[in-house]
A and B are shown apart, each in its own frame.
Chain A
Amino acid sequence: MIAMDIISDGLFAAVAAMGFGAISDPPLRAFPYIALLAAVGHATRYCLMTFLGVDIATASLAAAFVIGTGSVWCGKRVFCPMTTLYIPALLPMVPGTYAYKTVFSMIMFFQDINSPTQGSQYLQSMIFNGAVSFSVLFMLAVGATLPVFLLREKANSMTRGSKFL
């Protein structure tokens, strides 16, 4: 059952990444690797959060780092720069529900601006959700960019000798 959960989590993340990737017009050869990276990354975050109780920001950082490192290996195989693989793969980890709750709380805060108890509750919820969404987004970007610095030589010659020119 646990294995099923992890696999389905990865599977849906893969579909999401391929779809969001398609918006940015990637080369067709990149799709399988985008899917693979997204599945592995999202499943990593799922496992860290569900089984080890890691918080969402740290888990996102770890997962993004996995995706970034994986994209070095994948990029070399399909001659794509790392960013073209890891940006779509990161997108399924965007903290959508938190972002939504931030907006929703903001609106409710303005509706209840004259009621001190409810208004401040919504304000608190807005700051709470906003902080989570911002940190997760930031961690995703940083985590995936780290491998670029660690493996600079490799990262910069990803498309060398491309067979697809």
Chain B
Amino acid sequence: MTQEYVTEIADFISRYLSFMLGAGVHTSRVIRNSKRIGEALGVDVHIYTSQKTAALTVAEPGGTNMDTRVIEIPAYPISFEWNADLSALSWAAYDRKMSLDEIRTKFDGIVSKPKMSPVFVLLMASLANAAFCRLFGGDHWAMLVTFTSTLIGFFTRQHLARKRVNNYIVFVVSAFVASLCASSSLSLGLETAEIALATSVLYLVPGVPLINGIIDITDGHIQIGITRIVNAFMLIVCIAIGMSATLMLVKDSLL
């Protein structure tokens, strides 16, 4: 095994690693999958991860060739599709003894697949929030208000995120916009107006980092687990701030 080959493997695994960690996959899975790819290619892989960077060593077992580097983890939008397909890729590499070139081609195919259309996501999220409103006991009108306010709020979020506005500000603003739209149900005199107001911001709940954090902590990656939970908690605080702004405005009609 030559040093060039080890470097090439390290190049690939660092890309694999940064895509998986960036797209919101929990730590132990990323490490397991990267090691599996390394094993398929006949090298030892050691990884240290933190929130924004990871350190990677690829070494030839029993030899002297190795490659160590620090990788920056870019913030991709969360993608379960990458999670599923990149995990499957690591198994395929292991089971079918794929060569590095084959793995790389597959990898490029997976990450360049077109994402779900933003308009479709927008509609689905609004529909979801309306259904959610019903679960909390809202009536049809409350559902309609929730649907509309989520539509506007989520659109705001998508738009601001595209403009690369700071994530916390995105959350505060879209929580404010969504709840403000939902507070129209108060002036419409709906019976379940409060439920519409409560549900309108729930599309923002950061479920993925929250659960990933718990999984990481219970897997022994306590440091990064706490980071994820703190991050999720900050986003929840942002939702609360955005919603508070609306409640301050309409609190008199709520009492």
In Å, the complex CA distance between A97 and B132 comes to: 11
- B238-255 vs A, CB cutoff 8 Å, 1 = contact: the mask equals 001001100110010010
Residue of A nearest to B76 (CB): A25
> Which A residues touch B254, using CB under 8 A?
104
Q: Could you tell me if A142 and B124 are in contact, using CB atoms closer than 8 angstroms?
A: no
Q: Could you tell me if B198 and A100 are in contact, using CB atoms closer than 8 angstroms?
A: yes
> Which B residues touch A15, using CB under 8 A?
127-128, 131
- A72-96 vs B, CB cutoff 8 Å, 1 = contact: the mask equals 0000000111011001101110101
- B180-217 vs A, CB cutoff 8 Å, 1 = contact: the mask equals 00000000000000110111001101011011101100
A contact patch SS? helix
- Distance in Å: Cβ of A135 to nearest Cβ of chain B: 13
> Which A residues touch B116, using CB under 8 A?
22, 25
Q: Could you tell me if B81 and A96 are in contact, using CB atoms closer than 8 angstroms?
A: no
In Å, the complex CA distance between A97 and B125 comes to: 18
Residue of A nearest to B113 (CB): A27
> Which A residues touch B194, using CB under 8 A?
100
> Which B residues touch A156, using CB under 8 A?
32
- Distance in Å: Cβ of B84 to nearest Cβ of chain A: 4
- Distance in Å: Cβ of B154 to nearest Cβ of chain A: 8
Residue of A nearest to B254 (CB): A104
Q: Could you tell me if B215 and A107 are in contact, using CB atoms closer than 8 angstroms?
A: no
Q: Could you tell me if A23 and B121 are in contact, using CB atoms closer than 8 angstroms?
A: yes
A148-B202 in contact given A23-B125, A157-B91, A160-B91 (Cβ < 8 Å): no
> Which B residues touch A104, using CB under 8 A?
247, 254
> Which B residues touch A17, using CB under 8 A?
128
* 30 A-B interface contacts by CB (under 8 A): A12-B132, A15-B127, A16-B129, A18-B124, A19-B124, A19-B127, A19-B203, A21-B80, A42-B135, A79-B84, A80-B80, A81-B83, A83-B29, A84-B83, A87-B211, A90-B211, A92-B132, A96-B198, A97-B195, A97-B198, A99-B198, A100-B198, A100-B243, A107-B247, A157-B91, A159-B84, A159-B88, A164-B85, A165-B88, A165-B89
